[in-house]
Each structure stands twice: as structure tokens, then as C-alpha cells.
Amino acid sequence: MTTPTRSEFKTTYESIRPRYPELVGKVALVTGSSHGIGTGIAMRLAREGMRVVINGRTLEAIEQTVAEFQAFGIQAVGIAGDVGRSEDVDRLFQTTVEAFGTVDLLVNNAADLRRSHFFEADETLLDDQLLSNIRGPYICSYRAAEIMRDQGSGSIIHISSVGGLRAHWRGLPYDMTKGALDALTRAQALELADYGIRVNAVAPGATRTERTPADDSPQGQATGSRVPLRRYGLPTEIGAAVAFLASPDAAYITGQVIYVDGGLTIQLGLREYPV
């Protein structure tokens, strides 16, 4: 999912049914939300009436996404920054508080998605992913938790991956970092429960973005056919899980990883090749 056109945005946005009136007016900071799954998450949260912060590394993409949001009356601000850099994270939260006064929901979506074979993944790729996929969510969570602790409530949701539970073929070091993110989810949930802060994760499976092949291409058809529900997921479907976990309906849920994967992680083998 690239940044949608005005007509695409309108069609998708208006097709979403708001379900959680308690989220209206709350503030959601979604890292890596200028494109792809992050945009779908931010769109769903905005449809629930939340004020949203759009973040990414590329200012042009952020400005385009924010403009599309604001054109539909959504209260949105854009803040460029690399979540692996402490100074960028400090500025991200400072600007968010200046704009909206607080942070009620942090969605740690920004990540380096590259995957490689063990013998082909050099130390530079490892270092990049440790910064983006582990350090970034960790320090963003710390800044958010400081704010949430003072107000006595809040929610942190990490965007993990099916690769944190099952290994991709050629999945390193990405899968390793997502497994660490799942562990962070559980540890944070325990330690922040006393402050009224819930921590969960959403783990997408094959999801339609600008990175995925077209549905009618041979590769797209092959990938979709390997999912039990026989299709790619949509970014707004990941957003639906995030909205639920952020809502009062999930008030007794913390420390969990929710798989939004069309059944991908439950199968031992493809139906055409039963084990």
C-alpha cells in the first residue's frame, strides 16, 4: 500500500466502520506511517476519531500522507525522524506533545524489512536492524511510557511479524529482531501494568503493500494461494487489530501477540502437500 490517491483514500476511509467511540479525541503516534501498513493503521485509528501523528524518514512522503489525511478533516501532524536515533525520538515526542498535549497510544510500526540468508547477511545489515527493529521500539516505548505513567493510562502496540514465531526462508536477521520484539512485549507488559499501561503486539502475515507483487502476477497468485484464507491481508485489517487492542474492549488483554495472518502460522504444511 503506497500512499493512496485522494479517491482511493476516500473509498477506503469511508468503508471503515468506526467501532470504538471511546477513542475519539485520543492521540495515536504511529511510527513508520507514511506508507504501507503504517498508513493503514493510522487510517483506521483516524476513522475511530483519534488524532494521529504520521512519522517516517522521508519528509516528502510524510507531507503527502498528512495532506491526504487533513483533506478529510483528520487531525494529523507529520514528524520526520529515524526511530533508531535518540535525538530524533526525543524530537518526535516533544513535537507530538506540543501539537496534541499527550500520547495515549504508541504503535511501533517502523522497521527495516530486509531479509537475507545467514551467510549473506553482513554486519551492516545486522546493525541497521538492531537499531530500527529493536532499539527504536525500545526507546520510543520508554518516552511514551513516561507520559502514560503520569496520566495513569496508555497503550503500546508493537507491530511484529509471523517471522517472530516461525522462520522465513532467508529470514535473517529480520526474524530474530521480531522474536526479540515479542519478548519485549511480554516483559514490558509485566513491568508497566502497575501504571495502567497495556502492551501488546500485532503480527501481520502476507499483507498487501507497495512491496508485494500484484494479485494477478504469478508470484502474487502463488503467495496468496499458500495462505489458508487464499489472499493477502490489507493494511487496514492490521489497523483493525490495533484499534481493538487500543480500545476499552481489550482492557483485560496485555502481553499478547495477536496474529493477523489469514491462518498462515497455524498450518503444518500446504493443503496440496499434507504432512
Q: What is the pLDDT of residues 117-166, one digit of tens each?
A: 999 999 999 999 999 999 999 999 999 999 999 999 999 999 999 999 99
pLDDT at 3: 55
pTM above 0.85, yes or no: yes
| In a domain? residue 274 | no
**234: three-class secondary structure by DSSP:** coil
Q: In Å, how far are 7, 115, 141 from 169, measured between CA atoms?
A: 37, 9, 30
Q: Helix, strand, coil shares of the chain as percentages rounded to 5?
A: 50, 15, 35
Cell of 108: 511501533
Q: What CATH number has the domain bearing residue 123? A: 3.40.50.720
Cis, bond preceding 4 (omega within 30 deg of 0): no
Distance CA 172, CA 227 (A): 22
Q: How many Cβ atoms from other residues are within 10 Å of residue 272's Cβ? A: 7
Residues serving a catalytic function are 174
Q: What is the pLDDT of residues 30-39, one digit of tens each?
A: 999 999 999 9
Range of the domain at 54: 6-263
Number of domains the chain is built from: 1
| In a domain? residue 210 | yes
| In a domain? residue 269 | no
